[in-house]
Chain A
Amino acid sequence: MATDANAAAGRGSVRRLAGSLHRRPRLRLALLLSAPLLWLAVLYLGSLAVLFASAFWTTNSFTSQVVRVWTTDNFHELFTTPVFREVVVRSVGVALAVTALCAVLAFPVAFYTARVARPRWRPLLVVAILTPLWASYLVKVYAWRLILSQGGLADWLLAPFGLSGPGFGLPATVLTLTYLWLPYMILPIHTALAQLPANLLDASADLGARAGRTFRSVVLPMVLPSVAAGSVFTFSLSLGDYITVQIVGGKTQLIGNLVYSDIELNLPMAAALGTVPVVVIVLYLLAIRRTGALNSL
């Protein structure tokens, strides 16, 4: 009896709490969002702030100890040293090349999976596109190292044409990164193409447009925001990568390598280098936002 009454009272207070939360939507929202907001503010924005602040410090050149003295020397060095500029340009170039390659490769694949393949095969094909993401990043990169190594699969396949594989270096880096991030480009394009109403294509043909015109004037403009959305992934993932280039890049240096190698010896310089991709990606996102792509993410 007593326990029943307690249980009833407990249920009653839960109900009262639920009721009072229902009447206070702002409080409810605050409670719901407090944990993720705390996470975002402390762990993400906080570490970014630390990164940015430490970029203005310097090190004792003998001990490599961080000296907390405010200086803009690191950024000055970053902008004036030719090697740094070269590496930044190369890194952005790699990210752009990977993005462009992904877009070109993803479009026909997505077109097939979204509109050509039989409807009941489509979900399976999407799963097939995603399966590489289940494998370890390192396993895939080392697989590419094997493919591209001297006498490897690439050399063997190209030998009949009198060619050899690209070996390790910049092209190998671009190729491997393209492979790694391709699913992130296929998926948004697939979704956009799958959602493209069939009667828009009918309408275009009805109004006199051949397939090429329909593609240029209807399909492409409607799918472009999704290409841009996919490019946010491929671009930022490529720009932040430093492992692939170590494994298949030969002597190629990207921003990530410099950060990695500076982190022990000159942490403030590494931090200054680390802000570069952040700034580039923010600029890239601002450019992408103008296309309206972020609304379709």
Chain B
Amino acid sequence: MEGMAIRLHDLHKSFGATTAVAGVDLEIRDGEFFSMLGPSGSGKTTVLRLVAGFETPDRGRIELAGQEVTGLAPFERDVHTVFQDYALFPHMTVEQNVAYSLKVRRVPKAERLVRARKALAEVRLEGYGQRRPAQLSGGQRQRVALARALVGRPRVLLLDEPLGALDLKLREQMQVELKALQREVGVTFVFVTHDQEEALTMSDRIAVFDQGRIAQVGTPAEIYERPATPFVASFVGTSNLLDGETAHRIVGAPGTYNIRPEKIRVLKESAEADEPDRATATGTVADVVYLGDATRFLVDLDGGGRLTALQQNLETSAEDVAGYRGTRVRLAWHHRHAVRLPS
């Protein structure tokens, strides 16, 4: 099929008694920034290693650009990988590392040099070609690994938690750069991460993994606003589940509902819901956490259950926060933000 970089069909993989991947079907479009999100042990890295060819599936099919590659060796696939710990060759210079895939393909030396330098420029590492990986910082090694994987312009670039070892500031900067780089080179990126924020900010689409299966595939907005399962609701963002009697009473229909904390307004108990399509519930503030830019309220509802509400600190400041504990409040939210989850 045209326009598909990767198609996975009914993929299974076990290691001894542990099932890592239990039936994954997935299509990743050409030129997409696709994230595989899930907790550790959810099978996302195994799927990545199956696509790269480091592991062979027990069952199922892997297609790259419409061609089956299930049984092919890694060096027979037009896919390059950026490893979690970069896996740079320590005995080679940065330039030799970057030029490695070209050398293997017997690209003439002069062209190899030109392309390696260009790839280093793309990741803003001009002039570092003669250094050894050991002489670089973590962020710089990360860029070398990127340049090395991109220099041969693979059909698909696989990234295995590449930002996991960087500190927060650098990670945020690299998120922006990675996204820009992907747009620039137009290569399909498949990005494995356990960091939901990272996946939400960078991806065109996300697959959320849960216990070796895909729980939901969708755009960041779909995943966040319309989680398909309680697992997705709790793993992506903070989940706020209303169920049983409480849900029935407040929402008006039985079922399990998820409301994102930032959609809930915290009002005085005496306040009326100002708009007709709002649901409200009263309760007591069990805990207040000052987060700097926002304040998090944990509210025990009168009818049972607990909701978290997040309020921007527009007018409140740190001094006010402690006083809220134990006070009576009314929570209000728009009906459409109570998302019903399939049971």
Q: Which residues in A have their C-beta under 8 angstroms from that of B100?
A: 204, 207, 209, 217
Q: How large is the interface on B (under 10, 10 to 19, 20 to 34, 35 or more residues)?
A: 20 to 34
Q: Which residues in B have their C-beta under 8 angstroms from that of A208?
A: 75, 101, 104-105, 152
Say yes or no: A209-B89 contact (C-beta < 8 A), given A202-B74, A202-B83.
Answer: no
Instruction: With CB as the reference atom, state the residue of chain A lying closest to B160.
Output: A199
Q: Which residues in A have their C-beta under 8 angstroms from that of B74?
A: 202, 205-206
Encoded as 1 (CB less than 8 Å from any B CB) or 0, chain A from 16 to 60 comes to: 000000000000000000000000000000000000000000000
- Check B148 against A207 for contact (C-beta < 8 Å): yes
User: In the complex, what's the smallest C-beta–C-beta distance from B164 to chain A, in angstroms?
Assistant: 14
- Check A197 against B87 for contact (C-beta < 8 Å): yes
CA–CA, A208 and B80, complex, Å? 9
User: Which residues 172-213 of A sit at the B interface, judged by CB distance below 8 A?
Assistant: 197, 199-200, 202-210, 213
Contact of B87 among A202, A217, A221 (CB under 8 A): A202
- The residue in B79, B85, B101, B148 that gathers the most chain A C-beta atoms within 10 A of its C-beta is B101
Q: Which residues in A have their C-beta under 8 angstroms from that of B87?
A: 197, 199-200, 202-203
Instruction: With CB as the reference atom, state the residue of chain A lying closest to B77.
Output: A206
- Check A206 against B104 for contact (C-beta < 8 Å): no
CA–CA, A217 and B152, complex, Å? 18
B91 near A: Cβ within 8 Å? yes
Q: Which residues in A have their C-beta under 8 angstroms from that of B85?
A: 197, 199
CA–CA, A200 and B88, complex, Å? 7
Instruction: With CB as the reference atom, state the residue of chain A lying closest to B73.
Output: A205
Say yes or no: A207-B90 contact (C-beta < 8 A), given A202-B54, A213-B104, A217-B100.
Answer: no
- Check B52 against A218 for contact (C-beta < 8 Å): no
Q: Which residues in A have their C-beta under 8 angstroms from that of B54?
A: 202, 205-206
- Check B83 against A209 for contact (C-beta < 8 Å): no
Q: Which residues in B have their C-beta under 8 angstroms from that of A199?
A: 83, 85, 87
User: In the complex, what's the smallest C-beta–C-beta distance from B273 to chain A, in angstroms?
Assistant: 56
User: In the complex, what's the smallest C-beta–C-beta distance from B176 to chain A, in angstroms?
Assistant: 26
Q: Which residues in B have their C-beta under 8 angstroms from that of A217?
A: 89, 100, 103-104
Q: Which residues in B have their C-beta under 8 angstroms from that of A159?
A: none
Q: Which residues in B have their C-beta under 8 angstroms from that of A210?
A: 73, 75
Given A199-B85, A205-B74, 9 additional A-B pairs, CB 8 A: A197-B85, A199-B83, A205-B73, A205-B75, A206-B52, A206-B54, A207-B75, A217-B103, A217-B104
CA–CA, A209 and B89, complex, Å? 13
B81 near A: Cβ within 8 Å? yes
A222 near B: Cβ within 8 Å? yes
CA–CA, A203 and B101, complex, Å? 10
Say yes or no: A207-B152 contact (C-beta < 8 A), given A199-B83, A217-B100.
Answer: yes
User: In the complex, what's the smallest C-beta–C-beta distance from B77 to chain A, in angstroms?
Assistant: 8
CA–CA, A262 and B251, complex, Å? 106
Query: What would 29 A/B residue contacts be, using CB atoms closer than 8 Å?
Result: A200-B89, A202-B54, A202-B74, A203-B83, A203-B87, A204-B89, A205-B73, A205-B75, A206-B54, A206-B74, A206-B79, A206-B81, A207-B75, A207-B148, A207-B149, A207-B152, A208-B75, A208-B105, A208-B152, A209-B75, A209-B100, A209-B104, A210-B73, A210-B75, A213-B104, A217-B89, A217-B103, A217-B104, A218-B89
Instruction: With CB as the reference atom, state the residue of chain B lying closest to A197.
Output: B87
Q: Which residues in A have their C-beta under 8 angstroms from that of B75?
A: 205-210
User: In the complex, what's the smallest C-beta–C-beta distance from A274 to chain B, in angstroms?
Assistant: 38
- The residue in B81, B88, B104 that gathers the most chain A C-beta atoms within 10 A of its C-beta is B104
Q: Which residues in A have their C-beta under 8 angstroms from that of B105?
A: 208
CA–CA, A205 and B75, complex, Å? 5
